Amino acid sequence: MRDANLRAGSDLGLPRARLQGRRFSSLTPSAHASTLTLFLRQVFGQPGPVRVELPLLRQGGSPFHAQIEAEAEGDVCRLTFMDISAGRAAREELLRVQHALESQVERHAAQVQEVTQELESFVTAVMQEMDGPLRRIRACAEPPHRQPEVPAGEQALATGRILDAVDRLEAHMRALSFFSSASRQRLKFVSVDLNRVLAAVVRKLSPEWAGRDVHLTHDPLPVVRGDVGALQTVFTQLLTNALKATRGAASARIHVGVRELERELALFVEDNGIGFNMRYRERLFTPFGHLHREEDFGGPGLGLALVRRLALRHGGRVWAEGRPGQGATFWLALPRSAAET
């Protein structure tokens, strides 16, 4: 360089005198030498100013991003540069935020699609589940003129079937109401000791196994970030499911445990009950997804569907493992970010 002004010396951290006679290439990182060479060729090879963005080195070796403009005047090049580090950093931050927002929008779109598909499946399942009791009521309640003369005993039996169907419908409607309210409730995420949650659920359910030989054990459970009510509902449904599954066992054994996975904290409820065929495991967590006869297992079949819904609202997932007659294990995995350290 033949000459440099005071501002150049200030930006580069060098006295003006030390810049005079110095090669400009010494002020650029070696990795950008080819870019500088191409830039200078353009400056001397075409008329008018040429611009480029290059990192320059301050005294001590710390780089900063600069916008450089140069124009040739004969065999001399007049060059100016401006520190654009702040603007470049702001642009990169804007791109990062934009990318994060795009990713968030994609996640929300996927969640909306999943909820929509779940709603469609739910409506279909409700219609199918209600169809049986309604047809039974309709058949048993035909006007007398459309029925042959029937004995009083059969009339009483028909009336009993109608009442049973009505009871079943009412039970389903109550279950649907609870499923809907629990799915839509506003969650408040706080630190939750799952040991205390489990203890409260056991106290609530203990009357259900009165007179049975039930051995319920558990590992030390972690503290997580979650909604207390929702997690109590999850444990209630999983333990209720295990109690039903072990109803035919001489001695019911139920264990609540925890496993640390690579990116998740996995909780599980294991039982020695009737089990299930793994071929149909996906039906377990769908509304009314019965794998066993309702009269054998009991309940409308919404408990595990609710567990899945609440798990998704905690950013988690659910699955199950089992074999017919050899018990089952139901899993709830929460992201590691939910675990309190």
Mean pLDDT, residues 261-287: 89
Confidence of residue 145 (pLDDT cuts 50, 70, 90): very low
Confidence of residue 65 (pLDDT cuts 50, 70, 90): confident
Instruction: Note the pLDDT of residue 5.
Output: 66
- The answer to whether the beta carbons of residues 292 and 231 sit under 8 Å apart is no
Q: What is the pLDDT of residues 26-42, one digit of tens each?
A: 778 888 888 888 888 88
Confidence of residue 94 (pLDDT cuts 50, 70, 90): confident
- The answer to whether the beta carbons of residues 257 and 270 sit under 8 Å apart is yes
The CA–CA distances, whole Å, from 51 to 10, 34, 37, 68, 80 equal 22, 15, 13, 6, 10
Give the global pTM: 0.55
Provide the token pair at 95: 């791109």
Residues 54-72, buried b or exposed e (16+ Cβ, 10 A)? bbbeeeeeeebbbebebbb
Q: Is the pLDDT of residue 151 over 90?
A: no
Mean pLDDT, residues 144-150: 51
